[in-house]
Amino acid sequence: MLGEMQSSFHSRLTRLESKVCNTPRTDNRTPNSPTQSPPDPALGSPNPSHPASYAAAAPQPSQRSSLPTQPSKPSPHRLPEPVRFVVRFHSSSPAAPDRTIPKIISDDVDRELASIPTAKDLQVIGSHWNHSGNCILAFPPHTALSLLRDHIPSIRKAMGLSSQQTISHDAPWSKIISIGSFCPHES
């Protein structure tokens, strides 16, 4: 009875796939055939004592082109990221209870920049302290980096910073994943 149900289910699924894909499918399996396909010689031996390598299991260029492709989904529109500058305190970062409230930092920097004719278009849209004890200042996405770099001394003055603290563009870091280790002295 289970074999009949499996056969019926498989034939209905095949018809449904055929309708959805608009391509006729042929079913070469018999109702009592195993669901596992025979091993592919290109993938290596199915013997567990000799597992196939990743290179052997990866699809070859000729196999990739024959795979069906799905239409690409439209990506959702991403909002532009704000321009971020980071104030690095290095070893002199204030303790969490002694840190200035982010709203006050933003207001102080905005007030200082507004007093400078060449910086009237600069405005802080937000600030926060990160887990490393650095202060992040966020500006609108359209803000020119060169204009911000020109006014770093004014930002430093508004925040009461010494020359030991650095202010720089907070560019995203690239991530590299290393599998295994490499030691040039090992052979």
**In CATH, what number is assigned to the domain containing residue 124?**
3.30.70
Averaged pLDDT, 146-174: 91
82-138 pLDDT per residue, tens: 999 999 998 888 899 999 999 999 999 999 999 999 998 899 999 999 999 999 999
Asked whether residue 70 is domain-assigned, the answer is no
Q: Report which of 130, 148, 39 is spatially closest to residue 88, judged by C-alpha positions.
A: 130
Asked whether residue 109 is domain-assigned, the answer is yes
Asked whether residue 8 is domain-assigned, the answer is no
What's the domain count of the chain? 1
Asked whether residue 13 is domain-assigned, the answer is no
16-48 pLDDT per residue, tens: 777 766 554 455 555 554 555 555 555 554 555
C-alpha 51/C-alpha 36 separation (Å) is 18
| Contacts by 106-115, CB closer than 8 A, 24 or more apart | 106/137, 108/158, 108/159, 109/137, 109/155, 109/158, 109/159, 111/158, 112/154, 112/155, 112/157, 112/158, 113/151, 113/154, 113/155, 113/158
Asked whether residue 22 is domain-assigned, the answer is no
Domain housing 128: 83-169
Per-residue exposure over 1-20, b if at least 16 CB sit within 10 Å of its own CB, e if not = eeeeeebeeeeeeeeeeeee
Q: Is 0.75 surpassed by the pTM of this model?
A: no
Asked whether residue 97 is domain-assigned, the answer is yes
Asked whether residue 138 is domain-assigned, the answer is yes
Asked whether residue 110 is domain-assigned, the answer is yes
Q: What confidence tier does 175 reach under pLDDT thresholds 50, 70, 90?
A: confident
